[in-house]
């Protein structure tokens, strides 16, 4: 068993926030030393409020209290306090919510980023992780151990929100969505009851825990994860020629290349097209990023072989640029402190149909730092989960638009841009991923995150686990279910594959 020390978040490291030391089990509940109230006259409240999200631009909502805890007893104390004070509770783990769900007017915002212990059991190939653990922290804890996990694609994404939403992680094509590798969780209910949720204790709540995202009605204090054999990672990138005069046909050509290439790929190869706006009248930049997760170096190279047969690309980086999952995460070059918001859609349209539709919004992008990621949502997972989760990709491609910008420069235009990017796809939308939606801009989309009946399942579990409504639901809840999306059906591409 290997255990990594908890690394407190930057907020907890600030002496101004003096987080109380964890009490021994069974001791009296802690006080709320990590609390900052909205009536504070100094800058601490504003720092705590802004710290509820990683984005450098946040909505103006003013929680009544921001409470930072570092263990389950602290969670319990905070929930007690909220109940006594009549405050609804919101939760922050990694702070990457694209709907800023931890940041709500008048609520008690519970920051559990300090619950970031990682404990690895090599004998069983499992791990217990706190919800504040980031993608990079888990990947680093596992590196070189022979074990791995499909962590999110960005280093600082918190496992709390990521796993609850479903988790589109590295090597999803073979390992499935990250939530399928959740074996169980420790939770604290709004009324203070502490319980374990897994397939045996409460199969329905456990299904909802794996996909309801910000609509999940309890505080998760730890997840138990199934781990996978550590792969050898190889990556290539290929850049496409796009001319400003022929942008539409060039984008269609890049899309046809991706459609043909994707059809040839093994599940262990992840293909993502990254589209960035060109600077000053320049055409958009399209880069295919191809990452293989092999049993060993030879296998990884074999998986990448189809790339050698590819067509109209400007350049292909032949030297492997990364060799491990932590390295994939460390290459992130996004400047810190930038504004960040996203919008996502699933579709069954192919790359060739999707890419030209993105030309106009890319040309109108207010920030050159922004990008649109188009990648496969399909998988042939190496082993089915023991019990099916609520989350399931509702299309074959995922299109995610991420606005990234310097705070104060066209904030309103940058906040609106991701929604404008996916608008031209409206007639081919098959659903949305609750983890990457801007639910403040499009609250009605929460009704399209799950298969028919999914919304009612979440509502039933909410009514059962949190009958008094202590946890604040996300924007859009209770959802007004919109008209059915085009061509939604049970995904035929979710075939099982023998390991």
Ligand X SMILES: Cc1cc2nc3c(=O)[nH]c(=O)nc-3n(C[C@H](O)[C@H](O)[C@H](O)COP(=O)(O)OP(=O)(O)OC[C@H]3O[C@@H](n4cnc5c(N)ncnc54)[C@H](O)[C@@H]3O)c2cc1C
Judged on CB neighbours under 10 Å (0-12, 13-18, 19+), 70 is buried
| 102 touches ligand X by CB under 6 A | yes
256: left (phi over 0), alpha (psi -120 to 50) or beta: alpha
In eight-state DSSP terms, residue 282 is P
| Least distance between ligand X and beta carbon 109 (Å) | 9
Q: Are 470 and 78 in contact (CB under 8 A)?
A: no
Task: Tell me how far apart the alpha carbons of residues 458 and 453 are, in angstroms, rounded to a whole number.
Answer: 9
Which one among 17, 149, 175, 216 touches ligand X, defined by CB under 6 A? 216
Judged by CB under 6 A, the stretch of 32-40, 165-173, 254-262, 360-368 that binds ligand X is 165-173
Judged by CB under 6 A, the stretch of 88-96, 140-148, 419-427, 489-497 that binds ligand X is 88-96
| 88 touches ligand X by CB under 6 A | no
Residues 222-251 that bind ligand X (CB under 6 A): none
Judged on CB neighbours under 10 Å (0-12, 13-18, 19+), 187 is buried
Give the pairing type, strands 228-229 and 147-148: antiparallel
| 95 touches ligand X by CB under 6 A | yes
| Least distance between ligand X and beta carbon 129 (Å) | 11
| 157 touches ligand X by CB under 6 A | yes
| 219 touches ligand X by CB under 6 A | yes
| 340 touches ligand X by CB under 6 A | yes
If the CB atoms of residues 253 and 461 are measured against ligand X, the closer one turns out to be 461
> Is residue 315 within a helix (H) or strand (E), and if so which, with residue range?
strand 313-316
Task: Tell me how far apart the alpha carbons of residues 492 and 349 are, in angstroms, rounded to a whole number.
Answer: 14
Q: Are 47 and 12 in contact (CB under 8 A)?
A: no
| 112 touches ligand X by CB under 6 A | yes
| Least distance between ligand X and beta carbon 215 (Å) | 8
End-to-end CA distance of the chain: 26
| Interface map 39-78 toward ligand X (x if CB under 6 A) | ----------------------------------------
| 90 touches ligand X by CB under 6 A | yes
Instruction: Name the residue number minimizing CB distance to ligand X.
Output: 161
| 154 touches ligand X by CB under 6 A | yes
Q: What is the dihedral of CA 165, 169, 173, 176, to 10 degrees?
A: -50
Q: Which residues bind ligand X (CB under 6 A)?
A: 90-98, 101-102, 112, 131, 152-154, 157-158, 160-162, 164-165, 167-168, 213-214, 216, 219-220, 340, 342, 435-436
């Amino acid at each position: 068993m290997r255990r990594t020390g908890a690394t407190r978040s930057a907020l907890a490291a600030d002496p101004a926030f003096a987080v109380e030391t964890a009490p021994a089990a069974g001791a009296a509940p802690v006080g709320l030393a990590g609390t900052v109230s909205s009536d504070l006259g100094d800058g601490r409240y504003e720092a705590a409020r802004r710290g509820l999200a990683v984005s450098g631009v946040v909505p103006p909502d003013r929680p009544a209290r921001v409470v930072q805890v570092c263990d389950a007893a602290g969670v319990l104390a905070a929930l007690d306090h909220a109940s006594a004070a009549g405050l609804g509770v919101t939760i922050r783990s990694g702070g990457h919510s694209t709907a800023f769900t931890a940041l709500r007017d008048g609520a008690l915002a519970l920051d559990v980023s300090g619950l970031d212990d990682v404990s690895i059991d090599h004998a069983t190939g499992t791990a217990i992780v706190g919800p504040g653990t980031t993608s990079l922290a888990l990947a680093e804890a596992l590196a070189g151990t022979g074990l791995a996990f499909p962590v999110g694609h960005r280093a600082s994404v918190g496992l709390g929100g990521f796993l609850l939403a479903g988790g589109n992680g590295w090597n999803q094509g073979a390992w499935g969505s990250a939530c399928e590798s959740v074996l169980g969780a420790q939770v604290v209910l709004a009324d203070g009851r502490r319980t374990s949720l897994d397939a045996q204790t409460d199969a329905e709540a456990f299904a909802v825990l794996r996909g309801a995202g910000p609509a999940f009605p309890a505080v998760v204090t730890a997840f138990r994860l199934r781990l996978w054999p550590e792969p050898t990672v190889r990556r290539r990138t290929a850049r496409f020629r796009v001319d400003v005069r022929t942008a539409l046909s060039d984008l269609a050509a890049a899309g046809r290349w991706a459609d043909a290439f994707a059809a040839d790929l093994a599940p262990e190869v992840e293909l993502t097209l990254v589209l960035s706006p060109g600077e000053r009248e320049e055409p958009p930049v399209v880069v295919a990023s191809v990452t293989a997760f092999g049993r060993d170096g030879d296998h990884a190279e074999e998986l990448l072989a189809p790339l050698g047969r590819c067509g109209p690309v400007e350049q292909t980086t032949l030297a492997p640029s990364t060799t491990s999952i932590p390295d994939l995460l460390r290459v992130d070059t996004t400047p810190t402190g930038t504004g960040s918001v996203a919008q996502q859609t699933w579709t069954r349209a192919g790359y060739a149909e999707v890419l030209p539709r993105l030309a106009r919004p890319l040309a109108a992008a207010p920030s050159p730092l922004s990008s649109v990621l188009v990648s496969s949502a399909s998988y042939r997972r190496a082993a089915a989960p023991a019990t099916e989760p609520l989350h399931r990709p509702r299309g074959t491609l995922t299109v995610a638009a991420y606005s990234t910008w310097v705070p104060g420069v066209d904030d309103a235009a940058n906040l609106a841009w991701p929604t404008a990017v996916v608008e031209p796809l409206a007639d081919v939308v098959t659903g949305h991923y609750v983890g990457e939606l801007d639910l403040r801009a499009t609250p009605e989309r929460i009704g399209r995150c799950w298969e028919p009946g999914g919304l009612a399942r979440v509502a039933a579990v909410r009514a059962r686990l949190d009958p008094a409504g202590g946890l604040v639901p996300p924007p859009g809840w209770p959802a007004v279910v919109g008209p059915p999306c085009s061509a939604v059906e049970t995904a035929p591409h979710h075939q099982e594959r023998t390991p």
